[in-house]
Structure 1
Amino acid sequence: MNHAHPNSAEVVVIGGGLEGCAAAWALTRRGVTDVAIVERHTVGSGGTGKSSGVVRCHYGVSSLAAMAARSLEVFENAEDILGTGVGFHQTGYVVGVAENNVAALHASMAGQRAVGVRTENVGHDDVAELWPTADLAPFAAFAWEPRGGYGDAYQTAQAFAGAARRAGATLHQATTAKSVRTEGGRVTGVELTEGSTIATRTVVLAAGPWSAALLASLGIELPLTAHREQIVLIDPGGPIGPVPVFSDLVSLQYIRPEGTNRLLVGNSDLSTLEPADPDDYSDHADPAHIERTAERVGGRLPGLPAPAIAATYAGCYDVTPDFNPVISETPIEGLVVAAGFSGHGFKISPAVGTLVADLVLEGKSSDNDIPAGDFRLSRFAEGDLLTSPHPYAGAGQMR
């Protein structure tokens, strides 16, 4: 049920996806309960509903690893914290690299441990027990996160929204924000397409790839590319037993269980983007992508009983020039943006909410391992991009 549009709110969140709902939840936990979420369709109907839902803390960027580690605690305790489960399956997460990436793997793991990530080196025999159908010969080293796994991004967004509403926030679906109104360099309200305005002094803009146009109307550039990403679901043709998420940085793919009888396969090579209109794109994988996926999976998992393509889908990432998010104050007082998650958004969403609440209430991060400056919007104009000091050849964008 939607509430009638309010005349005013202490905070208006534009966007009812994962990050917007996480922000509303985090604000209510800090005592800011007069929060209005405006969503043009329904909660989780944009990129959130197309997320592959992988949960990992394996990042070379220390602040991202810390955000994933903090978020993992919420996924593990969702029923206590959010009042409901979020579909989290703690299968574990393994990443494997070739010889040219071994040094980067070890350096990344050291950085992850420094911010509280539980990660360990494992050998071929260990991984063979985890993935008995896999050909592991091309790999030189592996890292193992026993607390990793996968979850349901749509269910998580709903859980954030539900928790926020129980604390007093209001949700307004089928409600489109036309513009952010300002006066004298600060926020004064949000104008809706129907013509009404919600008066407010604080706006959190979390509208995914649609965020850039709203900012552009205010003279603020947010460099985003809507990138179409394709996913393939495979029927293995027989039981394969419990398996963890497998990040294959040799074939540049990731594979995770999907329920009990399918595998979800995604792409780890974003060196070439496929720009798309997030309002009008093919939501099924292309034949060429399906063929490449079949070749990669067949080469990596030759022991599958009788694999067959079960289904495909596609979604859009909102990608920044450095493949890392913007969670930032802006030149307009009272306007905070959380967008450009570049495929990382689900696994860090609880920490995103916390950082947004920090910026709204304090203007700085409350976590020394997650400096707000890392995610500032101005870094693009400054030429100071947020990149891993230990990039992986072939998959540096996503790690």
Structure 2
Amino acid sequence: MSSPASPTVVVGAGIIGLSTAWHLADLGQRVVVVDSGPAAGGTTTAGAGFVGLWAAGYAWYWNESERDVEQYGIDFYRRLSESGNGETGYRQNGNVWLTVTEEGRADHIPPFEDHRFRPAGARTLTPDEAAELVPGLDPSAVTAGFFHPDGIQISAPDTAAALVSALRARGVTFHEHTRVTGLEARDGSVTGVRTAGGPVIAASRVVLAAGSWTNTLLAPLGRELPTVRVVASRLVTKPFGLPGTLPTLMLPELHGLWIREHRGGLTYGAGRGYEPLFVGGSDRRTEPARRPVRPDLLDAMREYLHPLVAGLLPDAASALGADETATQGVVSMTADRNFIVGRVPELAGLVVAGGDNESGVTHGPGLGRIAAEISVTGTTTLGDASRYDPARFPAEAPSEQDVIGLMPARREADARRAGAAA
């Protein structure tokens, strides 16, 4: 049975769970973080580590609430970098969206130009202006660009490790390599978490931030989140002298290609390296491997991307495919492409923080703050909590296949075309 002395338990030590623990500590809570592997050792370590104001022209289905969460993340990482708690790789290099056809320019640049959240200093780029801003870019390979100056880059694994170190210094307890198998409850309230081969960890409150494993713990309560788990891949080249000032590049026409500098080389990825877990027969309640290994997806991504990246950045051609490394993780996409953070109606004292929508690094600090505040006070001072409330969905979730069918189009241009066709 829990008592007033029992801690708040956070299940999951990825960026969202660590951020939740950070903000719970800010609220004066005693915090225990439990993870089935090493702290900061799951999908977060596969994060590409670029952060931006995606709600300001890129993610058309988000509004000022998500913009505020994004800005909070940018500010949080800057403060963490300045605190000296550890190396985070923080750089304010900005984000550049590029188009490679005239149709792409017409589809993807105006939403940035006309957006009501357009940040100060944002501007449209001609191909030559883009080449001045992007070291090594061939201007003949693009038709236009748009620059957001406030976008940042971090090292996701280094930042997560810095958070773990800072949290330990603040008195947060970690139980690593401890798999949570269920929740303990009494009189309709959560009282702790059960662990595999170990004792129950008593809790006054619990926050589930277990990413793609969250539904495994919610299912016995009669609640499932409408998410689809997706293997996400990225490639990393060897160093070839690329300057660290390269902005993060986003090319929505090319299956969502993104490119950023990594230790003098490139890290990059696109949709060809993604596949829903259910394609391999995995059920929503089945716990996937913490770090999947899908060489077929990597091969498909290499075949598609190598000529495209070499055309954009000719100096990278010799490094593509030569001693490249790869990393893969499992992200959770939601039925409405928005996050799921809030109280679980079926059990008092239980809060869920999930549905990263492949942007957990950007939104993790803000979502962690929202989860912590809701857990302790029942409300939040950041964003619009109603947009993330788990109760906006029925308790019984559709299949992962059906979730994909419910998700709004990724690009605004695609949504416009679908609307016209309907």
Which residue in the other structure is 1:166 paired with? 169
Q: Deviations over 1:152-173 (max 9, x none)?
A: 2222222222222222221111
1:259 paired with 2:263, answer: yes
1:282 paired with 2:293, answer: yes
Q: Deviations over 1:307-347 (max 9, x none)?
A: 42222222211222233321111112111001110210011
Q: Deviations over 1:36-69 (max 9, x none)?
A: 1111111111111111111111223122222111
Q: Which moved more, 1:125-134 or 1:344-353?
A: 125-134
**Residue correspondence of structure 1 range 1-399 to structure 2 within 5 A:** 9-32=6-29, 34-59=30-55, 60=59, 61-62=62-63, 63-81=65-83, 83-97=85-99, 98=104, 99-107=106-114, 109-113=115-119, 119-136=122-139, 141-235=144-238, 239=242, 242-251=245-254, 252-260=256-264, 262-267=265-270, 273=276, 275=278, 278-279=288-289, 281-284=292-295, 285-302=297-314, 304=316, 306-309=318-321, 310-331=324-345, 332-367=347-382, 370-381=383-394, 391-393=412-414
State the 1:381 CA deviation: 3.0
Distance 2:262 2:240 in 1: 14
1:322 is aligned with what amino acid?
A: D
Provide the TM-score with structure 1 as the length reference. Answer: 0.85
Distance 1:362 1:123 in 2: 49
State the 1:132 CA deviation: 4.7
Q: Which moved more, 1:263-272 or 1:10-19?
A: 263-272
Distance 1:307 1:83 in 2: 33
Assess if the C-alpha contact under 8 Å between 2:339 and 2:388 holds in 1: yes
Change (3 A) 1:128 1:393: farther
Which structure 2 segments of 5+ residues have no match? 283-287, 398-405, 418-422
State the 1:18 CA deviation: 1.1
Change (3 A) 1:340 1:241: closer
Q: Which moved more, 1:323-332 or 1:299-308?
A: 299-308
Change (3 A) 1:212 1:293: same
State the 1:236 CA deviation: 7.4
State the 1:386 CA deviation: 9.0
Which structure 1 segments of 5+ residues have no match? 1-5
Which residue in the other structure is 1:3 paired with? none
Distance 1:65 1:139 in 2: 28
Identity of aligned residues (%): 25
Distance 2:243 2:87 in 1: 26
- Please report the RMSD computed on the Cα atoms of aligned residues, expressed in angstroms: 3.1
Assess if the C-alpha contact under 8 Å between 1:22 and 1:157 holds in 2: no
Assess if the C-alpha contact under 8 Å between 2:13 and 2:40 holds in 1: yes
Provide the TM-score with structure 2 as the length reference. Answer: 0.81
Change (3 A) 1:312 1:83: closer
Distance 2:319 2:220 in 1: 49
Distance 1:213 1:306 in 2: 44
Q: Deviations over 1:178-223 (max 9, x none)?
A: 1111223221211111241122231000011111110012111112
